[in-house]
Structure 1
Amino acid sequence: MDSSFHFYVSNRFPCCVTGYHRKVSHTIRRSRPPFRAFRLTFAVAAATAVILITIRPIATFAAPGATAAPPRISTAAKPQRAHTAGFAPDNRTLFAPIAYLAPPGPARASRAITILNRQLDFQRKISFHPKLAPALQDVVDLLPPRQSTMIRAAALYSKPGVPWRAEPDGTHQICVTGRPSDGDYLYRLAPESRSPEEPARFSGVFGLKPAADSTPTSISSVTGTLGGELMLDTYGIGALVDASADALREVHGDLRPPWDSSPGAFNHHDRAALEKFHRQMPHLAAKFDHYLKFNNLLDEFNSTAGPVVLFNVDAEVRQDALKKYPLLYDFYRKVVPAVTAKSAIVDSHGNFWMREAFDHGHIHFTMMIRDGLLTPFNAAMQPAGEGLALNELARGSYRTLASAQVTSLAMNFGLANLGFATDYRRDSGSVTFATRMDAVPQLIAPPGVHEVMDLIAGDFLRGLATGNGGMKVKLSSRLLPNGIYDFSSVTTAQLNYSPTLELLARIGDAIANKHNDQVRAEERAFGEELFDAFVADYNDARPAIVALDLDKDSQPEKSK
């Protein structure tokens, strides 16, 4: 299930939206990434897909207080202490964290099943079966492909034929509504933007406002706004945070010696985790086996503070498995081997909370868990501080840096220093992520070519990072008095006009448009294939989930 609240209605029109008493309030000033969903990939191998999707945006906070000295890791077998119970027992269902999707009270797991059933039905429609009404399709045909919308936004403001809604301040808007329609999710053009009033309804707006120094004949810069609001009768971000915190306890192999002496060795720890995954989620595990080759999954060490699990994925996509999706296969075979990308969430001491990378076809993802808590680690992949209980976090600030590059003709091209700062807030009924770009992206290019590229794209990137305080994204969910959750997201950015970039974008669009619709259809089909496997395992696991209501030791703690 994709709970990222990122909706796209086509390859061109960008529609993104993308009750608890807190136990402890932490103020954190060490690490920070933009809120974005953890993709339905490799974390599922160690836990449950529906829950771990949310770990990526939430589990990136530095622990409060000063960083403790990292304990020394030893390969010698030591008695496991009582706090090893922080990890979930091997016989507990991987779907146990789902119970946290329901408010505390009797029959919580059973109520969570009812809630998740509604969410899964909705998620299938909105994620894999979007449908555009004819009038909206006509507007989409007038807009540039979504991959170049930002670059061409200033020119788009005055494009003839687009049925803009003109606001008094000069803003041009396109408003959209969305609702379920049988097995699809139908988007329509709307005369104005209004908050939805029923569950599973969506309202979105795409707006462009000229800069103060613009004239009717010369629009050199615009402020772009992309916003959306969605009503759900299932759960809010807070419940996903609580479920994610519990899901971290599932991430382990057998927690037994012989312990690993260094990261990256595939041994009995990895096999134990994979065997549990295959036993409890056989349908999804079969899909992973079909599409992925795992070189490593996790490493388990012992320290003076007890067992440490390094969730340390090294996986490769089996290219031939993608042949059933010919356009995706062709893209992966030709383009992906030349691509490298990475992101690292670090604190002020240089310690990591999470790392992910794509390196010429190899997929890497790393995080550390101790006592069932997300734990910082250093460059040597040793614990570097106390763990963090995500469900107890009321506020925090965190940061991430990312880069991506493509190698062509023995030369590297790309972007580095993609930095974002986020403030996280949570109270009894709401969760908010407020993110801004806090660094000017740096171009990666060979000497000589770099100067030319900076002339072409430098002003656009500087405007994106610094204009109007930098690109901003705000995502939130709040519980309304009627028990419905209101999700909202707003992205704003200054988009400077660059005629050279626009020309390059047009060339790229002409190439991409040839197969864009078909590629998007294949992406959705691939996603639904994994989704179906997850749902099959979830349906099989329902008796084990219901049994949690009878097992006092397995019941989620009540909110305090």
Structure 2
Amino acid sequence: MIDLLPPRQSTMIRAAALYSKNEIPWRDEPDGTHEILVKGQPADADYLYTLAQDWRSPEEPARFSGVFGLKPAADSTPDNISSVTGTLAGELMIDTYGIGALVDTLADTLREFHGDLKAPWDSAPGTFNHHDRAAMDRFHRQMPHLAAKFDHYFKFNNLLDEFNSPAGPIVLFNVDAEVHQDALKKYPLLYDFYRKVVPAVTAKSEILDSHANYWFREAFDHGHIRVMMMIRDGLLTPFNAAMQPAGNSVALNQLTHGSYRTLASGQITSLAMNFGLANIGFATHYRRDADNVTFVNRMDAVPQLIAPPGVHQMMDLIAGDFLRVLATGNGGLNTRLTSRLLPNGTYDFAGGATAQLNYSPTLELLARIGDAVAQEHNDQVRAEERAFFEELFDAFVADYNDARPAIIALDSDRDDRQEKSK
């Protein structure tokens, strides 16, 4: 089945054409939907995925259920399936924690994002000084294995800036880092790929509130990896384009509902010309109670093509209709992610994406060309990417294991205090 499906990066483009491929082992629904159902479970040291005949929610920890479905659009005919509604969804049961615990952990971690919180204060962002060194020194003390890996692979031009204000010190977590490219030579395919990406690719994404203030910004700019957020008294704080506080701080672990917008863009430079997409926007609604967390996202703008004059018109003919339908057809591209606590104490994670996908022969041709280029070393490059991130993860685990006795002691002290307070 995997051999019959296109590489994952072009599945959306080819969805309408895939619908009519009878050699794919589709499961047919009465409404014309073609589905592939998958289940997953641990198998010794591996994880085994197999085709399923029907949908069943997981009933044991570490079990997975997934579905990929295509349904003809309302205006399609049996002889002309030019548009489909695509669905990709999955459900996983785990016995550790839900999304709420991850949000709580992030809220606690934000309190550790600071330098020495002492004068002399920064007067402008972007200067590496004693604030940055204090934060780096603490990182090396508390997580020496992970810090050593970061020293090996990354150069930090800036980490954070600290300003004084009437409301107390303000920490602008303002990362400007570059990869030590020579350090990647142990992964030759990843090294070669990254060397080509650095001079050609720029990308950015931002999380904004209803007043167009920023809560989070990240970017990749010709090799510079940038991350930015503002923290005041350990709480996430909105900021404006001048990087000044622009509203009340928020304790993430106390939020029960809210809304924000994500905006992204990316482009690549080739033959002295820029190509890419801008205005990739999603509106997100967040809700949380004692047992459940839900994120609902919907694409709320038509992505804009980036291309030189003349070429832009041709690109719009190739991809414009696909993007417009993706953003507006059948309610627009939407995704949903939830976690809920089950009566047996386990957590059920469920997520999915739905969108209307038009068929574009020209886009499919371009996708085939891209697949042929990417597939040559696809498996090897992905293996090297996994090995690189395993290095970082193993270093994190080593630091966690070293700190675990102290963490358990802190938890025990907290439980004792709570018991005495009762």
Return the TM-score normalized by structure 2.
0.97
2:78 aligns with: 216
1:250 equivalent among 99, 112, 121: 112
Residues 1:265 and 2:127 are matched in the alignment: yes
2:21 equivalent among 152, 155, 159: 159
Q: Which amino acid aligns with 1:250?
A: E
1:294 aligns with: 156
2:172 equivalent among 307, 310, 320: 310
After superposition, the CA RMSD in angstroms is: 1.7
Stretch of structure 1 that moved more, 356-365 or 155-164 = 155-164
1:465 equivalent among 317, 327, 331: 327
Stretch of structure 1 that moved more, 188-197 or 546-555 = 546-555
Q: Structure 1 residues 550, 199: closer, same or farther in 2, change over 3 A?
A: closer
Cα shift at 1:242? 1.3
Aligned positions of 1:92-131 closer than 5 A: none
Residues 1:379 and 2:241 are matched in the alignment: yes
Would the aligned equivalents of 2:210 and 2:260 in 1 still touch at CA under 8 Å?
Answer: no
Cα shift at 1:180? 1.4
Residues 1:186 and 2:48 are matched in the alignment: yes
1:225 aligns with: 87
1:496 aligns with: 358
Identical-residue share of aligned pairs (%): 81
Stretch of structure 1 that moved more, 453-462 or 325-334 = 325-334
2:223 aligns with: 361
Return the TM-score normalized by structure 1.
0.73
Residues 1:174 and 2:36 are matched in the alignment: yes
Higher relative contact order (CA 8 A, sep 6+): 1
Would the aligned equivalents of 2:65 and 2:92 in 1 still touch at CA under 8 Å?
Answer: yes
Q: Distance in 2 between matches of 1:549 and 1:366?
A: 31
Cα shift at 1:421? 0.3
Aligned residues: 421
1:487 equivalent among 324, 342, 349: 349
Q: Distance in 2 between matches of 1:517 and 1:243?
A: 34
Cα shift at 1:366? 0.2
Q: Distance in 2 between matches of 1:550 and 1:489?
A: 35
2:10 aligns with: 148
Would the aligned equivalents of 2:209 and 2:259 in 1 still touch at CA under 8 Å?
Answer: no
Residues 1:547 and 2:416 are matched in the alignment: no
Aligned to 2:13, what secondary structure does the other structure show? coil
Q: Structure 1 residues 409, 555: closer, same or farther in 2, change over 3 A?
A: farther
Q: Structure 1 residues 469, 486: closer, same or farther in 2, change over 3 A?
A: same
Q: Distance in 1 between matches of 2:90 and 2:417?
A: 36
Cα shift at 1:349? 3.2
Q: Which amino acid aligns with 1:410?
A: A
Q: Structure 1 residues 216, 557: closer, same or farther in 2, change over 3 A?
A: farther
Q: Which amino acid aligns with 2:251?
A: A
Residues 1:370 and 2:232 are matched in the alignment: yes
Q: Distance in 1 between matches of 2:112 and 2:162?
A: 14
Q: Distance in 1 between matches of 2:412 and 2:304?
A: 56
Q: Structure 1 residues 444, 528: closer, same or farther in 2, change over 3 A?
A: same
Would the aligned equivalents of 2:237 and 2:245 in 1 still touch at CA under 8 Å?
Answer: yes
2:58 aligns with: 196
Residues 1:431 and 2:279 are matched in the alignment: no
Q: Distance in 1 between matches of 2:186 and 2:362?
A: 38
Cα shift at 1:347? 2.8
1:235 equivalent among 88, 94, 97: 97
Q: Which amino acid aligns with 2:133?
A: R
**Deviation by residue 1:201-255 (Cα, 9 ceiling, x = unmatched):** 1110101111122222211000000000000100011111111111111110111
Listed as ranges, the gaps of 5+ residues in structure 2 are none
Q: Which amino acid aligns with 1:287?
A: K
1:115 aligns with: none
Q: Distance in 2 between matches of 1:468 and 1:556?
A: 51
Q: Structure 1 residues 217, 303: closer, same or farther in 2, change over 3 A?
A: same
Q: Distance in 1 between matches of 2:133 and 2:413?
A: 28
Q: Structure 1 residues 465, 557: closer, same or farther in 2, change over 3 A?
A: farther
Q: Which amino acid aligns with 1:538?
A: Y
Aligned to 1:217, what secondary structure does the other structure show? coil
Aligned to 1:200, what secondary structure does the other structure show? coil
Q: Distance in 1 between matches of 2:132 and 2:126?
A: 10
Listed as ranges, the gaps of 5+ residues in structure 1 are 1-138
2:195 aligns with: 333
Q: Which amino acid aligns with 2:98?
A: G
Q: Structure 1 residues 557, 336: closer, same or farther in 2, change over 3 A?
A: farther
Would the aligned equivalents of 2:84 and 2:357 in 1 still touch at CA under 8 Å?
Answer: yes
Q: Which amino acid aligns with 1:498?
A: S
Q: Distance in 2 between matches of 1:262 and 1:340?
A: 25
Q: Structure 1 residues 192, 365: closer, same or farther in 2, change over 3 A?
A: same
Cα shift at 1:346? 2.3
Q: Structure 1 residues 202, 557: closer, same or farther in 2, change over 3 A?
A: farther
Q: Distance in 2 between matches of 1:391 and 1:554?
A: 22
Cα shift at 1:440? 0.2
**Deviation by residue 1:268-316 (Cα, 9 ceiling, x = unmatched):** 1101111111111111111111110000000111111111100000000
Cα shift at 1:344? 1.8
2:204 aligns with: 342
Q: Distance in 1 between matches of 2:237 and 2:252?
A: 11
Q: Which amino acid aligns with 1:537?
A: D
Q: Which amino acid aligns with 1:290?
A: H
Q: Which amino acid aligns with 1:517?
A: D
Would the aligned equivalents of 1:548 and 1:554 in 2 still touch at CA under 8 Å?
Answer: no
Q: Distance in 2 between matches of 1:165 and 1:423?
A: 33
Q: Distance in 2 between matches of 1:537 and 1:527?
A: 16
Q: Structure 1 residues 315, 555: closer, same or farther in 2, change over 3 A?
A: farther
Q: Distance in 1 between matches of 2:73 and 2:242?
A: 48
Residues 1:393 and 2:228 are matched in the alignment: no
Cα shift at 1:555? 7.6
